[in-house]
């Protein structure tokens, strides 16, 4: 018997794959859902067909979901706003929303990126622009296609605010979707952003025909680099052992459904970054994350050979062999750097 869930008015910003998956789950949980779509024609098409053929082909979305191209109307007086837009769009979107956001609303970031100039994570940017105390981050190994196919999935809601955690767990808990809690918002969000880098590297490795032993090595050394950066920035490296860290890292480094993995695979086949992204027709968050993290690692003196090698491949036109060098020719560091 389905447990009764309190109904909230919710706006999901963005009708990409994950935004659509969020709306799908929320509607199934009897929530009042509106999806903001920047393009009026796309909003009209989604309203009339109930399908998002570009991102989730073949999936029938709940007819109760409303689509709105006017962001003020979409977010006016709602209880919860999910930000499921590319990280590069956050600042301009927040500027549009300032008059609509109130202190009572819950604001959830679902993007996995870092702002280029400020090195702010997306929830930090929301906090800086709104002053809200009701902020959370939803992150984890959450491939949208598998979610709407109702394959068992787990995610993490991270917030310092218990109310935010409790509400999001309530409205997103379904027989096939479980939400765990974490109060380390910074660590969870940093893990989600950093893992995109290594998904690109894993895609390259797969395209080059490297084996499962290599994949295992790549994932574990990636986790070491991620934890190293987290510690330097004041985060808790143990957070990276959870769903948002190693869990997300495993799925995005292994699944062809991951767009960062797909991007890396195309690079490994010989395409340029521009060609690869154009073929995917989706935002690849990991591209910018490689750029900003490579610069930050250099600034802070954090040893991240995979990041620096990937940066040289993507932005300096260096040979893909640099990625292998990052795995095999670096210092002989400890296997496990953070031990309880």
Q: Write out the catalytic residue numbers.
A: 195
Residue from 206, 171, 195 nearest 289 by CA: 195
**CA distances from residue 50 to 31, 65, 95, 149, 319 in whole angstroms, order as listed:** 17, 8, 29, 16, 45
Please count the CA atoms within 13 angstroms of the CA of 72 that sit on its side-chain side. Answer: 4
**Cα gap 124→94, rounded to integer Å:** 12
Q: Are 184 and 194 in contact (CB under 8 A)?
A: no
Torsional sign, CA 171, 175, 177, 181: positive
Q: Rg (Cα) of the chain, in Å, rounded?
A: 20
Would strands 153-158 and 177-182 be described as parallel, antiparallel, or unpaired?
Answer: parallel
Chain position carrying tokens 């095999």: 328
Residue from 142, 129, 271 nearest 195 by CA: 142
Measured distance between the N- and C-terminal CA atoms of the chain, rounded to whole angstroms: 42
């Amino acid at each position: 018997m389905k447990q009764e869930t309190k109904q909230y008015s919710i706006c999901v910003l963005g009708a990409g794959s994950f935004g659509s998956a969020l709306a799908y789950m929320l509607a199934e949980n009897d929530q009042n859902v509106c999806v903001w779509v920047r393009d009026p024609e796309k909003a009209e098409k989604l309203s009339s067909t109930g399908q998002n053929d570009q991102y989730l082909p073949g999936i029938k979305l709940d007819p109760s979901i409303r689509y709105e191209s006017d962001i003020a109307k979409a977010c006016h007086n709602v209880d919860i706003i999910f930000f499921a837009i590319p990280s590069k769009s956050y600042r301009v979107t927040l500027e549009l929303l300032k008059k609509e956001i109130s202190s009572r609303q819950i604001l959830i970031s679902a993007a996995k990126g870092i702002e280029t100039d400020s090195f702010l994570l997306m929830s930090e940017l929301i906090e800086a622009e709104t002053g809200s105390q009701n902020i959370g981050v939803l992150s984890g190994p959450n491939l949208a296609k598998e979610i709407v196919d109702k394959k068992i999935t787990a995610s993490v809601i991270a917030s310092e605010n218990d109310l935010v955690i409790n509400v999001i767990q309530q409205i997103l808990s379904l027989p096939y979707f479980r939400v765990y809690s974490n109060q380390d918002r910074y660590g969870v969000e940093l893990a989600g952003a950093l893992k995109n880098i290594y998904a690109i590297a894993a895609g390259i490795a797969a395209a080059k025909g490297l084996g499962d032993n290599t994949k295992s090595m790549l994932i574990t050394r990636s986790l070491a680099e991620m934890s190293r950066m987290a510690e330097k920035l004041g985060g808790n490296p143990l957070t990276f052992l959870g769903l948002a860290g190693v869990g997300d890292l495993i799925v995005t480094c292994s699944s062809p459904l991951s767009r960062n993995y797909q991007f890396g695979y195309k690079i490994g086949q010989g395409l340029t970054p521009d060609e690869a992204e154009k073929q995917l027709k989706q935002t690849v968050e990991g591209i910018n994350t490689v750029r900003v993290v490579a610069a930050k690692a250099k600034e802070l003196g954090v040893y991240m050979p995979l990041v620096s090698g990937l940066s040289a491949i993507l932005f300096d036109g260096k040979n893909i062999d640099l990625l292998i060098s990052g795995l095999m020719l670096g210092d002989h560091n400890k296997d496990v750097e953070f031990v309880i």
